[in-house]
Structure 1
């Protein structure tokens, strides 16, 4: 179980955090664009596995979020460190018309990662994505309560309940301005 969480869910959390950087062209996607643009830049911070066999495992992550030109979506690249080991992380999420958001973390479920199979931007400060890998089903929620912080929670479905398994608290560390964000 820990192997599944560390190799699949942790990269998903990382990639989903990057998804916050997506930009779009449709006026109906304005809250989507606002949310993803607010996630552009460099983010660092701690996380913890809060349930399961590896409950209590702490890690530190560093990510760079960017938005693709002319599309609603984002890319996130970076890594997370647990002890002496660092796992490179990457994610891509894109709005695919009426299908909603689709994407992959760490190569998707066919690789060592997860698929993003749906989701929506709740408002300019919160997004929820549906994640999938084999029998593992769940959601990833990212919230940006202010311009310089982001919280990410990954929950998996156990029977008929969503159980939180990973939590992350990230802080912006940009050296230059991003949009209307002043440098730190």
Structure 2
């Protein structure tokens, strides 16, 4: 994995996982509203050239006034290096669209689709010829596991894993388990 792909993957994981709160009273909106607030947690690159690289992210999630979606803004630290992270994701029909950092045209990633099912969101990600998925799953009201995988031939290979914990007093409700 090239350094820019690693940075893009890292940024994607951070952003997607704090996904998209919505204004409408629907199950997707309820799920995404639980992601609002402040999150901190460690992660690790588990495959590729930078396998074993550990990092810690600090992220703030907000929701837009008019559209279903979210913006996640913060940073991830690897050793003495700090990488800004920003993602914007909005509902597009029955799916989701958005970008991490400056999208695939720059040094980031595009979100090309996605859906919410019970206690998790799965987003399709793309950067030039790299395709994959990001899954964020609640393991409790204040803990979320995020996995980023890339597609190699016909398999999804996990490359980034992280566990985030809520560090603010944002009230959350239970997430329905499917």
Please indicate the TM-score interval, normalised by the length of the shorter structure: over 0.9
Deviations 1:40-85 (A, max 9, x none): 1000000000001111000000000111113211110000000000
The 3-state SS of whatever aligns with 1:53 is coil
Cα RMSD of the aligned pairs, angstroms, is 1.5
Aligned partner of 2:67 in structure 1 is 71
Give unmatched runs, 5+ long, in structure 1: none
Offset at 1:2?
3.9
> Is the 2:36–2:170 contact (alpha carbons within 8 Å) kept by the matching residues of 1?
no
Aligned residues: 174
Aligned partner of 1:147 in structure 2 is 141
More displaced stretch, 89-98 vs 134-143: 89-98
Residue among 117, 128, 132 paired with 2:122: 128
The 3-state SS of whatever aligns with 2:75 is strand
Aligned partner of 1:17 in structure 2 is 17
Q: How does 1:55-134 map to 2 (within 5 A)?
A: 55-98=51-94, 100-123=95-118, 125-134=119-128
Instruction: Give the TM-score taking structure 1 as reference length.
Output: 0.90
In the alignment, the residues of structure 1 paired with residue 5 and residue 46 of structure 2 have an alpha-carbon distance, to the nearest angstrom, of 11
The 3-state SS of whatever aligns with 2:18 is helix
Deviations 1:84-140 (A, max 9, x none): 000000000000124x200000011011100000010112x1000000000100000
User: Is residue 2:28 matched to residue 1:32?
Assistant: yes
Give unmatched runs, 5+ long, in structure 2: none
Instruction: Give the TM-score taking structure 2 as reference length.
Output: 0.93
> Is the 2:130–2:151 contact (alpha carbons within 8 Å) kept by the matching residues of 1?
yes
Q: If each structure's helix is expressed as a fraction of its own residues, which one has the higher value?
A: 1
